[in-house]
Amino acid sequence: MNRIDQKFIELRKVNRKAFIPFITAGDPDLAVTEDLVLALEKAGADIVELGVPFSDPMADGPVIQAASYRSLQQGTNLKKILDLVRRIRCHSQVPIALMSYYNPVFRFGEKDFVSEAVAAGVDGVIIPDLPAEEAVDLRREASARGLATIFFMAPTTPAARMKAVAAAATGFIYYVSVAGVTGARQAVAREIAARVRAVRKVTDKPVCVGFGVSTPQQAGEVARAADGVIVGSALVQLIHTHADQADLLECVSAFAASLARAVH
Amino acid sequence: MSFPDKNGHYGSFGGRFVPETLMALLMDLEQEFKKAQRDPAFRKEFAYYLREYAGRPTMLYPAQRLSRQLKTLKVYLKREDLLHTGAHKVNNTLGQILIARRMGKKRIIAETGAGQHGVATATVCALFGLTCVVYMGSEDIKRQALNVVRMRLLGATVVPVESGSKTLKDAMNEAIRDWVTHVKDTFYLIGTVAGPHPYPWMVREFQSVIGQEARRQFLAREKKLPDYLVACVGGGSNAMGLFHRFYNDKHVHMIGVEAAGHGLNTTAHAAALCKGQPGVLHGCKSSLLQDADGQVALAHSISAGLDYPGVGPEHAYYKETGRAAYVGVTDKEALDAASLLARTEGIIPALESAHAVAYLSKLAAKVKGKKSVIVCLSGRGDKDMGTIKDLLFS
């Protein structure tokens, strides 16, 4: 069974929510990313989202745009990230989802991407500019190989469309907390509980909330309503500011642990 | 068969590759546009503004001195350069602003490279009293300072974009980010036949007035259809505007001229069709300049309006099916053609349009007997005087 599905079964048994950190692979470099993934798992991450850098990250705010740019400057590409996952799998069984814009995956070849990702130990794929309608080929390949295809819902998604997205999604549903790009927000939308309830009316698949969650307090609030909480920009920023310091892993672990406690 | 299909595909190209937040809005926009097309009041209003405000129909001018010089070609120029704001862009901005009004949107955003689409958008926003925000790469702001002044004079806010290459593609990224964030009250007025469905289709329909007029005008004069259509292709809106109404006239050859920059065999060009690979950028699948990892490459052209690594999906489809041919013209050839047209006809073309003019000499050398050709003169050259001064007179 896919590690993401396995994880949600375990968590639901003990009525616990998932803490899902996002980091950009290759920022500051892939060796550090490897250490960071292992540190995040120790700090309480239930699933790790690894960002594949792209030249034109149109769904991302300034923090992840900059991280993506730095990573590309390091020569990071999809193949090297799959090699990284293979190395991580020597030490860890933490579920890993890749978050990539569509073009790097399309260029790699969807069929090759799915088979190589699964072989490397990737459990799911999240593609912010690929709605389910355009993902027919990818879904076919992914479902044949047991790779989760995680799709988005947003406050602007109409009820009828929610059903179609829920039917296409495997692993979990990524609920975008606010209309906008990734990045920290002052406050998490107050209506988030009501919105997640609306999603639950159309599906019993896990619903995880991301975009704008940056503090343990916000993460705790969201965790009360959702099955999981995704925190990206706040972590990516912290990694960047400590990138060349000896206490990088320590700082990131401490922050991740505080988020994990709030979520759990 | 008419394109696009119901999901916005042109063969394997087109589609809607956008964040989920925008999907419902795109579907609403498609419905609204369909309704507008069927609504006689909308068609009348659009025709009114094209005629009374933009200055349509534009002339189809027989370029006699140029034709004599080219010997084997009888050249007609479709004079989009004579439109208000100086380019074909206003055909589309007028159409979209009327749609935005029907949808009750109060805030208009746009991206611009050379500033022509930004000016055309700021113009129609001023005309209808709507808020206008234009995203423009900070590099382009430096290169096209006069157009920035024009936009500001028209009341638009010009937002410098500092991310990525600081040019058109980054301006488009930033416009999309704004759109995702202000999806409820904001209308994204895209300037070319690219972006997610329904934009490539909607922009084509608004620009098709070019080909519709040209076809009628040519038939009236020559009692037959032209042998060739030639237009420059950046995103491809003036070319699609000219080509589309001739699609079923199978003996009319269509040629799109891309910016070959320093040459098609260098890395400094913007020839997404001649040299690109299938890819997805800014909401649609099309032909794209990119590296082996699928990272988008930087484009180069002397003409800021062609300086974009992608192209409209319908052009990719025309190329794949062979309905149109696509060729490249270098910076230098375009510059020479601007001179040639200025001196033979007294018409100074935009450097974008000069690419189309430049291809005529190559075409003239290839054809047998005397052939007729309509060239889309998509814009006038005033905006390029700084570039021309630097390259030719200093």
- Residues paired with residue B284 on neighbouring β-strands, in sequence order: B281
What's the confidence (pLDDT) of residue A187?
72
Nearest C-alpha neighbor of A57 from the set A232, A235, A208 = A232
Give the residue-averaged pLDDT of B174-201: 96
Partner-chain contact A157 B23, CB within 8 Å: yes
Contacts of B208 (CB under 8 A, 6+ apart): B240, B241, B244, B245
Question: Which residues from B are below 8 Å from A127, CB to CB?
Answer: none
CATH numbers and ranges of domains, chain A: 3-258 (3.20.20.70)
Nearest-CA residue of chain A relative to B277? A107
Whether the pLDDT of residue B257 is over 60: the answer is yes
Rounded average pLDDT over B17-24:
96
At residue B164, the pLDDT reads: 82
State the pLDDT confidence band at B1, using cuts at 50, 70 and 90.
Answer: low
β-bridge pairing B253-261 and A48-51: unpaired
Q: What is the pLDDT of residue A183?
A: 85
The arithmetic mean of pLDDT across residues B268-283, rounded, is 97
For chain A, the residues whose C-beta falls within 8 A of a C-beta of chain B are: 54-59, 61-62, 65, 69, 72, 77-79, 102-108, 128-131, 133-134, 151-158, 161, 165, 176, 179-181
Closest A-chain CA to B296: A55
Interface contact flag, A107 B184, Cβ < 8 Å: no
Angle among Cα A184, A57, B318 to the nearest 5 degrees reads: 150
Residue B111 belongs to what H/E stretch? strand B107-112
Please judge whether A154 and B20 are an interchain contact, meaning their C-beta atoms are less than 8 angstroms apart. Answer: yes
Residue B115 has pLDDT above 80, yes or no: yes
Full pLDDT tens readout for chain A, 264 residues: 899 999 999 999 999 999 999 999 999 999 999 999 999 999 999 999 999 999 999 999 999 999 999 999 999 999 999 999 999 999 999 999 999 999 999 999 999 999 999 999 999 999 999 999 999 999 999 999 999 999 999 999 999 999 999 999 999 999 998 888 988 777 776 789 999 999 999 999 999 999 989 999 999 999 999 999 999 999 999 999 999 999 999 999 999 999 999 999
Indicate the residue of B21, B169, B279 with minimum beta-carbon distance to A156: B21
Cα B129 versus chain centre, distance: 25
Tell the burial category of A90 from Cβ atoms under 10 Å away from its Cβ (0-12, 13-18, 19+): exposed
ipTM of this complex > 0.85?
yes
The residues that bridge with B233 in the sheet, in sequence order, are B258
Q: Judge if the upstream peptide bond of residue A206 is cis by omega within 30 degrees of 0.
A: no
What angle separates helix A78-88 from helix A110-120, to the nearest 10 degrees? 20
Q: How far apart are the first and last CA of chain B?
A: 53
Residue whose tokens read 């382009």: B140
